[in-house]
Structure formats: structure tokens, C-alpha cells
């Protein structure tokens, strides 16, 4: 895999390594894709008013979007290995633009489910964590932690940047111009990706940033997608997987599925302006970035199970008191809720990733991909449940109570995970441990 660079034409020397412009374009692409995640909460009331669609049917589209977003991610990296980062990013952005454009001319609820749920879900899911990890691994040897942290944090930043502006556009000009704005943003990013993004430094005759030697472009692994499925097949027969994924599903239900989808409509039910509610959700995004960085620091020093229990219990307590904090204005108590909830919002990710690696060894990264898919299934289920509950009961009161209870269940599931000393890979049979299986995976480079 490593060769001397003498056989490769050297490009003209530059002050800035090409890896940095590519990381910047990747970051902006993730920001643009992430902006779509916040839209369902802003679209619920306008679509309900214009088309008289139930909030439950609108929630189905949001649910499918989240589920497809999660399920496509484990395969996105395999597709990037097979066809190249730039090609897959361009296809994903093209799918997003088409889905957004079709959404502006839809006339039936099933079309929202197809355009927003399936097309945009697949496009944005392909430009998430796996995209960030692939770009980082290909282009950087040094500063990997800085780059991957920045790229993964770009998702929350995308919602921060766009959400207040989108809420203002909807409030003053309607929901269609807001979606057109997002579609144009994705289109601009497609042009920048085509001009700047490249799959590997070897394509330009360069070394990865920080590498002392030239690195050949790896040969295409045609079995990457098959391995992704094989890891899933092995993992689902492990009790440990379901404990970890079950807790993460409840994490998704109480964040993406609930707060990002139903917080704004719930706040509007209490007389709060959509722009104010959107600003509160945006603030959660700001503090979630801070919380994630802090959680990564704590994960290196504290048992990740302990951290997850604290995060879930704290989140459950916050959701239990949230109904009492709603009102026409953002009072001090609501602001305190937003700050603390933001700190706990994405903080569950670093300890969950570490537990995946600890419990599943070399398969940990792929296992986390599937765990994240289950996270999105939980988010999708809550998006639908919240919408139907609002239609039937006229409010979200019982939804907050259920969410608080789910956080408690998640904490209990985490407590049943094995401790730090038990790192052997679970076998596929009877939940017993199989050291040989883990060793075989390491020998095969899995």
C-alpha cells in the first residue's frame, strides 16, 4: 500500500495542502445536508394548514426520512470505496435537489413521504458520519481527530445556521421558498464538490496530509457491502448488540424523533412564535456541539456506561418537566432547559462508539453504523407517534411523559452491559463469548 513517490508526477508545491480545501468542502456539504433535518418541525403546521393533512401523516414522512437516513449510512462507505467519494457525494446532492424540488409541487401526503422521506432521507444519509470518516481517512494522517470532530460537528452546526433563517422565510414568505433555498444550497454544493473534491491524494500525485511517504490509492473492495451485511447478521444474534442498540434507539426517539420534529409545533401550541421556537432548537444545536466535545473528553477517563446512565437519566428528568416550561415567551427556565438539554443531546455518541469497539472489536465501526440505524428507527417511530398523539389528543402532554420513561429504560439497558474488563467478542450462538471469532476477525483485517 505504501510506495515511493518518485514514480508519480509531483504537483507544483503550494502553501496549503490540498487536504484542507477538500475538508472544507466536505464540511460545507455536511452543513448543507444537515439543514434538511430541521425542516419537518417547521413544515408541520404550514402543511397541516394548507392541505388539511393530519400531523400523523406528516410525521410518517419525517419518520421514513430518519429511518432511510440511518439505514443508508452503513452502505454509503462501501459505495464510496467502490465508486469514489466525489461520485457518491454528487449523486447524493442530486437526489436531495430532486427530492426538494418535487416537494414544492406535491399535492398528496404520500408524495411527501416519497420525496422527503425516501429521496431526501437517502441523500442526506449518504452525507453523514460515514462521508466524514471516509474523507478524513483518505486525506489525513495527522490531525485526524481535529478533522473528524469538526466534520461530525458540522451536522449540528448546519441546523444552527439554517434553522432561524428558514423559520423567518416560512413566517414571511411561506414554506415553498424555504425548501427552494435549501435546494439551491445543495445545488451550489454539488458544483463545489465537482470542482474541488477528490477521492484520494494519489489521484493528484500527492501524499496524505502529515504522511512522509506516498500512499497508493487502495484497490476497490468489491465485498465491502457484503461484509456490512455479514457483520449485521453476526451482531443481531448477540444480546449485547440489542442492549446497546435498544438504548440508542430510545436516544433517537427522545432527540431527533421528538425534539427536532415536534418541539416547534408543541411550542406553537402554547402561543410561541415559530421564529422563537426555531431559535431555541438552534440553541440546542449550539450546546450539543459543546456537549459532544466534552463527552469525548470524559469518555477517555470515565466508564462509558456510567456516562450513558447519567446522560439518559438527566435527559429523562428534563423531558418530564418540559411541559411546565412551555409558554408564549422563552422564559429563563426554558432557556436553562435548552442549554442543559443541548449539552446532553449528542453527548451519548462518543461513549456509544467506544462501547461498540470495546464489545465488538475490529467490527466496532460497522456495528456502530447499524446501531445508529436502530437509533434512526427509534427516531422515526417517535416522529409518527408524536404526530398521531397530537391529532388524537390535541396536545403533546403524554408524549413528553413517554419520552421521559424511555430515557429511564435506556439507562437500565446500559447498566446490563458488561464492564470494562470484558472485551471479548460475543459469538453468534447462545450469547456465549468466542475469543477465536475475535482473533479471526483481526487476522482477516476486519
User: Do 146 and 194 reside in the same domain of the chain?
Assistant: yes
Residue 90 lies in a domain: yes
User: Do 267 and 197 reside in the same domain of the chain?
Assistant: no
Residues in the chain: 446
User: Do 192 and 305 reside in the same domain of the chain?
Assistant: no
Please give the pLDDT value at position 334: 94
pLDDT in 10s for each residue of the chain, 446 residues: 444 444 444 444 556 788 889 989 998 998 888 888 778 778 888 998 899 888 888 888 888 888 888 888 778 877 887 788 899 999 999 999 999 999 999 999 999 999 998 999 999 988 877 787 778 778 887 776 567 667 766 776 676 678 788 888 988 899 999 999 999 999 999 999 999 999 888 888 788 887 777 777 766 666 667 878 888 899 999 999 999 999 999 999 998 888 888 898 899 999 999 889 888 988 887 888 788 778 877 887 889 999 999 999 999 999 999 999 999 998 999 999 999 999 998 888 888 878 887 888 877 767 887 888 899 889 888 988 998 898 899 889 999 999 999 999 999 999 999 865 544 444 333 333 333 344 443 333 33
Residue partners of 255: CB distance under 8 A and separation at least 6:
345, 346, 379
Q: Look up the CATH number of the domain holding residue 259.
A: 1.20.1250.20
Residue 427 lies in a domain: no
Q: Which residues of 161-191 are buried (b: 16+ CB within 10 A; e: fewer)?
A: bbbbebbebbbeeebeebbbbbbebbbebbe
Residue 443 lies in a domain: no
Residue 428 lies in a domain: no
- 109, 396, 163: which is closest to 268 by C-alpha? 396
- C-alpha–C-alpha distance, residues 103 and 97, integer Å: 10
User: Do 174 and 323 reside in the same domain of the chain?
Assistant: no
User: Do 146 and 42 reside in the same domain of the chain?
Assistant: yes
User: Do 107 and 256 reside in the same domain of the chain?
Assistant: no
Please give the pLDDT value at position 160: 66
Structural domain span for residue 180: 15-205
User: Do 27 and 154 reside in the same domain of the chain?
Assistant: yes
Q: Please, which residues bridge with residue 2 across strands? A: 215
User: Do 279 and 198 reside in the same domain of the chain?
Assistant: no
Please give the pLDDT value at position 177: 95
The answer to whether the beta carbons of residues 157 and 31 sit under 8 Å apart is yes
The residue from 205, 227, 258 where one domain ends is: 205
Residue 214 lies in a domain: no
How many domains, in total, are found in the chain? 2
Residue 445 lies in a domain: no
User: Do 175 and 247 reside in the same domain of the chain?
Assistant: no
Please give the pLDDT value at position 244: 95
User: Do 191 and 312 reside in the same domain of the chain?
Assistant: no
- C-alpha–C-alpha distance, residues 251 and 414, integer Å: 12
Please give the pLDDT value at position 283: 87
The residue from 182, 205, 228 where one domain ends is: 205
User: Do 33 and 121 reside in the same domain of the chain?
Assistant: yes
User: Do 199 and 256 reside in the same domain of the chain?
Assistant: no
Residue partners of 61: CB distance under 8 A and separation at least 6:
40, 109, 112, 113, 116, 117
Residue 115 lies in a domain: yes
- 24, 42, 40, 20: which is closest to 32 by C-alpha? 24
Please give the pLDDT value at position 206: 81
The answer to whether the beta carbons of residues 316 and 253 sit under 8 Å apart is no
CA gyration radius, the chain: 22
Please give the pLDDT value at position 61: 87
The residue from 189, 205, 221 where one domain ends is: 205
Residue 195 lies in a domain: yes
Taking CB atoms within 8 Å and a gap of at least 24, the contacts of 203-206 are 204/11, 204/18, 205/5, 205/8, 205/9, 205/10, 205/11, 206/11, 206/17, 206/18
The answer to whether the beta carbons of residues 244 and 304 sit under 8 Å apart is no
The answer to whether the beta carbons of residues 129 and 372 sit under 8 Å apart is yes
Amino acid at each position: 500500500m505504501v510506495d515511493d513517490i518518485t514514480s508519480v508526477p509531483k504537483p507544483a508545491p503550494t502553501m496549503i495542502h490540498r487536504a484542507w480545501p477538500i475538508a472544507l468542502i466536505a464540511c460545507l456539504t455536511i452543513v448543507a445536508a444537515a439543514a434538511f433535518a430541521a425542516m419537518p418541525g417547521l413544515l408541520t403546521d404550514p402543511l397541516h394548514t394548507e392541505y388539511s393533512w393530519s400531523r400523523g401523516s406528516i410525521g410518517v414522512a419525517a419518520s421514513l426520512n430518519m429511518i432511510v437516513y440511518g439505514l443508508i449510512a452503513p452502505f454509503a462507505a462501501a459505495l464510496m470505496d467502490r465508486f469514489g467519494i466525489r461520485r457518491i457525494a454528487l449523486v447524493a446532492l442530486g437526489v436531495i435537489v430532486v427530492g426538494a424540488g418535487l416537494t414544492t409541487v406535491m399535492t398528496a401526503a404520500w408524495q411527501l413521504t416519497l420525496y422527503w422521506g425516501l429521496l431526501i432521507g437517502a441523500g442526506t444519509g449518504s452525507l453523514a458520519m460515514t462521508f466524514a470518516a471516509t474523507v478524513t481517512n483518505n486525506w489525513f494522517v495527522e490531525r485526524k481527530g481535529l478533522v473528524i470532530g469538526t466534520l461530525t460537528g458540522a451536522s449540528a452546526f448546519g441546523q444552527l445556521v439554517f434553522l432561524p433563517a428558514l423559520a423567518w422565510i416560512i413566517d414571511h414568505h411561506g414554506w415553498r421558498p424555504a425548501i427552494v433555498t435549501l435546494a439551491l444550497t445543495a445545488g451550489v454544493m454539488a458544483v463545489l464538490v465537482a470542482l474541488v473534491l477528490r477521492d484520494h491524494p494519489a489521484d493528484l500525485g500527492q501524499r496524505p496530509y502529515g504522511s512522509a511517504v506516498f500512499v497508493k490509492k487502495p484497490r476497490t473492495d468489491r465485498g465491502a457491502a457484503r461484509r456490512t451485511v455479514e457483520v449485521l447478521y453476526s451482531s443481531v444474534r448477540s444480546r449485547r448488540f440489542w442492549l446497546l442498540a435498544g438504548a440508542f434507539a430510545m436516544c433517537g426517539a427522545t432527540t431527533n424523533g421528538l425534539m427536532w420534529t415536534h418541539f416547534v409545533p408543541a411550542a406553537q401550541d402554547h402561543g410561541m412564535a415559530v421564529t422563537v421556537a426555531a431559535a431555541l432548537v438552534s440553541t440546542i444545536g449550539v450546546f450539543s456541539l459543546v456537549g459532544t466535545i466534552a463527552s469525548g473528553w470524559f469518555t477517555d477517563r470515565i466508564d462509558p456506561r456510567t456516562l450513558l446512565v447519567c446522560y439518559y437519566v438527566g435527559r429523562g428528568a428534563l423531558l418530564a418537566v418540559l411541559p411546565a416550561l412551555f409558554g408564549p415567551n422563552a422564559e429563563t427556565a426554558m432557556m436553562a432547559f435548552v442549554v442543559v438539554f443541548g449539552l446532553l443531546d449528542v453527548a451519548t455518541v462518543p461513549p456509544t462508539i467506544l462501547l461498540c469497539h470495546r464489545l465488538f472489536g475490529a467490527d466496532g465501526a460497522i456495528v456502530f453504523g447499524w446501531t445508529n440505524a436502530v437509533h434512526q428507527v427509534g427516531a422515526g417511530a417517535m416522529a409518527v407517534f408524536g404526530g398521531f398523539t397530537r391529532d388524537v389528543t390535541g396536545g403533546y402532554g403524554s408524549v413528553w411523559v413517554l419520552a421521559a420513561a424511555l430515557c429511564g429504560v435506556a439507562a437500565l439497558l446500559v447498566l446490563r452491559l458488561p464492564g470494562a474488563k470484558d472485551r471479548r467478542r460475543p459469538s453468534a450462538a447462545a450469547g456465549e463469548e468466542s475469543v477465536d471469532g475475535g482473533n479471526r476477525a483481526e487476522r482477516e483485517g476486519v
